[in-house]
A and B are shown apart, each in its own frame.
Chain A
Amino acid sequence: MSDSKAIFLKDATVNAADGDQRAFIRKALGGYYVNRDLQKARYRDWERARDAASLAKWSAVNDLANVLEKFVTNFERNGGVVHWARDAAEARAIILKIAEDNKAKAIVKSKCMTSEEIHLNDALEKAGYGVVESDLGEFIQQLRGEAPYHFVFPCMHVKREAISELFTKHLGTAPTDSPEELTMIARRHLRQLYVDADIGITGANFLVAETGQISITENEGNARLTAALPRIHIALSGIEKVVNHLDDLSVLLPMLATAGAGQPMTCYNTLYSGPRKKGECDGPEQFHIVLLDNARTRLLADPEQRDALHCIRCGACLNVCPIFKNIGGLAYGTTYQGPIGSVITPHLRGLKQWNHLSGASSLCGACTDACPVRIDLHHHLLHNRRNAAKESPTLFDQVFHHGFNFVIKRPWLFATGGRIFRATLPLLQKLPLPYMGAWMKTRDLPKAPAQSFRDQWKNQNV
């Protein structure tokens, strides 16, 4: 068993038994479901709108070289600097070099999952920079020393009392149980940090090839501040974030907000094209973008699952996933949690170590229905299972399935086996058998009937 699987099983077991925490998560998502449905109802045809969103991403991803080339040309024309990173280490090195060249000290970040993916904060802190996350949820997680729980709602699992304690400990503020006051504490604390920071690091939700702009989606305004006040703006983005046309955003921005957060649009959807222009009164002097591969091209090379690169990281698939809701985001041990994480992590980090995430699903398909860009999520879990069984079959599975097949391809053996199974079921239930023992721990089996269907049918129809 891989280490990551052992940790997963341990954490999932603990979390799945924590009824209070699970109820807390369900309650927290309650408002989202209501708002999402209200907003979806405003669409005149949500399903066809999903078609449009899906096609916008499909056409960019399947023409990635050209679209990316176009983006880069236009980005540079706008006065931005483009950097390329094959992997996480290269991306970190690029960002460290920009900081060093510009004698930066303080860095403020707005939410950027790609930076989690490359463990940027660690690298920056080790190099002696002060780094502060400005998104409230990320800020809280940074103080907690914990990875995000959900890539859109990073601290949704933390109760207000714990946040109050955290602020008291780190910021010296008085305890409060009001979310409003807690938010204001963070607001006051972070304001000066934006003003003083030399570098602002953001992610990017979309890279618009046609205009060379990047688009950033947020609610709090922290990304706006991060890209407005420091003298250098660095955006870090996966290469798959490109879209062909500015016009594509007319579908993608509202759908991202509605699917992921139940909003018509998020509060701020901002397009940046370059550093401060001539005649503009503020904004950074430099604008860099780091374009990251980090195994995305490996996913691209799999046409069956290439659509996983359409992901706009809205989080809808997590919000509806019963696995996510019952084991929580941290149990995944991945940068991207939930269904999309279970699909792509095996590609990004290795199938052998991460295939258990594909197995840990009832394949209910709620994720696939929720996905605004129509990624075939739950079927990809099946594809990962198939690929893993091919690549590194487990002995147990081999024996089990070939044995099962030996039986089911012989109807007489199946019938006889069934008879024995039913006769011994009361006994079998008491034995610590694999699978059956696990089942019996929390659930009963129906009482085995004396006769199978096939026997009864034969008797009835003689």
Chain B
Amino acid sequence: MRVSLFVPCFVDQLTPQVGLATAKVLKRLGHEVEFRSAQTCCGQPSFNSGQWDVAREAAIRALGVFRGAEVVVGPSGSCVAMMRQFYPELLKGTPHAAEADDLAARTFEFSEFLVKKLGVTDVGAKFAKKVTYHDGCHALRELRLKEEPRQLLRAVKGLELIESEEGETCCGFGGLFSAKFPMISTAMVQVKGGALARTGADYVVSSDPSCLLQIGGWLSREGKPILPLHIAEVLANDA
């Protein structure tokens, strides 16, 4: 299959290894991977801030960027939810509505794509570490993904998966919320990050790089001995 990568803007700039790992896994499975460099940001920050006109422009641009792509795969539940759930809502009743629905149907979150679309759970990865998994809220509740990433992780050789307390609790990122209401966002990551650290895992893995920014940022500041890692990075590891 020819996969067009959807790399979230902050992954592009701050955690490029996540995008590279995503491509690596897909290539290893024998797929052709492309990156359309006209893509930037999906518009979610503006959408979540109520600036729907601005977000609509971003959505329309994204439709153009991914026009003709067979499938679009992104390593972020949150940004994929934006394309899949919220583009159609934003563009409802506009001339772009049909194309938004069409793009939504071709867009997948990375773990979802592997498990649900390709039917693959074992991608041939090895990772002899203890990991705990954090469900990003968009993946969990907008895309309804819960088992998919876990199935992938369980198939990784040497990997031990530990569930945390506060399993389905939000990490408190919420995009600009984390900066507009930093005290609430911090209280939330204390609860979530604390529970993750208590598992004794080496890594907290998630399919959402934005949650990892928040959780990792707090764990680092608190000096907790557990590191953030994107699921694509785990799955890319075959050495």
**A residues bordering B, Cβ < 8 Å?**
12-13, 16-17, 19, 22, 26, 322-323, 325-327, 359-366, 368-369, 382, 384-390, 397, 401-402, 404-405, 407-409, 411, 414, 418, 421-422, 434-436, 438-439, 441-446, 448-449, 451-454, 456-458, 461
Contact = CB atoms under 8 A, between A and B. Distances in A.
Contact of B14 (A16, A364, A445): A445
B57 to A, nearest CB: 6
B50 A386 contact: yes
Interface in B178-227: 178-191, 213-214, 216-218, 220-221
B94 interface: no
A435 B176 contact: yes
A111 B183 CA distance: 33
B19 A457 contact: yes
A446 B177 contact: no
Given A409-B40, A453-B12, A362 B170 contact: yes
Nearest to B218: A443
A327 B221 CA distance: 22
Contacts of A26: 191
A452 B40 contact: no
Nearest to B215: A443
Contact of A366 (B16, B141, B182, B183): B141
A240 B11 CA distance: 46
A442 B218 CA distance: 7
B174 A13 contact: no
Nearest to A410: B40
Interface string B138-150: 0011100000000
Contacts of A369: 141
A454 B50 contact: no
Interface string B9-39: 1011111110110010000000000010111
A368 B141 contact: yes
Across the A-B interface, give the 10 residue pairs with the lowest CB-CB distance, nearest first.
A362-B174, A443-B217, A385-B50, A389-B50, A364-B170, A453-B16, A435-B179, A365-B141, A364-B137, A438-B182
A12 B45 contact: no
A328 to B, nearest CB: 11
A439 B58 contact: no
28 contacts: A16-B186, A17-B187, A326-B184, A326-B188, A360-B177, A363-B177, A364-B170, A365-B137, A365-B142, A366-B168, A366-B169, A368-B141, A389-B52, A402-B54, A405-B46, A409-B61, A411-B37, A438-B182, A442-B182, A442-B189, A443-B189, A446-B216, A449-B14, A452-B13, A453-B11, A453-B12, A456-B16, A457-B23
Contacts of A443: 186, 189, 214, 217-218, 220-221
Nearest to A26: B191
Contacts of A387: 50
Contact of A456 (B20, B46, B187): B20
A449 B16 contact: yes
Contact of B221 (A16, A388, A411, A442): A442
A100 B14 CA distance: 70
B234 interface: no
Q: Which of A434, A449, A453 has the most CB of B within 10 A?
A: A453
B41 interface: yes
A449 B16 CA distance: 8
A452 B12 contact: yes
B151 interface: no
A441 B170 contact: no
Contact of A359 (B14, B38, B57, B181): B181
Given A363-B174, A389-B50, A408 B179 contact: no
Contacts of B214: 443
B166 to A, nearest CB: 9
Contact of A409 (B57, B137, B182): B57
Contact of B57 (A366, A405, A456, A457): A405
Count class of interface residues, chain B: 35 or more
B88 interface: no
Contacts of B213: 445-446
Contacts of A12: 181, 183-184
Contact of A16 (B45, B48, B184): B184
B173 interface: yes
Contacts of A388: 50
A402 B57 CA distance: 11
B137 A13 contact: no
A452 B46 CA distance: 23
B177 A444 contact: no
B174 A361 contact: yes
Contacts of B19: 453, 457
A359 B40 contact: no
A26 B194 CA distance: 14
Contacts of A456: 16, 20
Contact of B180 (A359, A364, A457, A461): A359
B141 A22 contact: no
Given A443-B217, A453-B20, A362 B57 contact: no
A322 B141 CA distance: 15
B6 to A, nearest CB: 11
Nearest to B170: A364
Given A322-B172, A362-B172, A382-B48, A454 B35 contact: yes
B42 to A, nearest CB: 9
Given A365-B137, A446-B213, A453-B7, A360 B184 contact: yes
A435 B180 contact: yes
A451 B168 CA distance: 34
Contact of A408 (B9, B49, B137, B220): B9
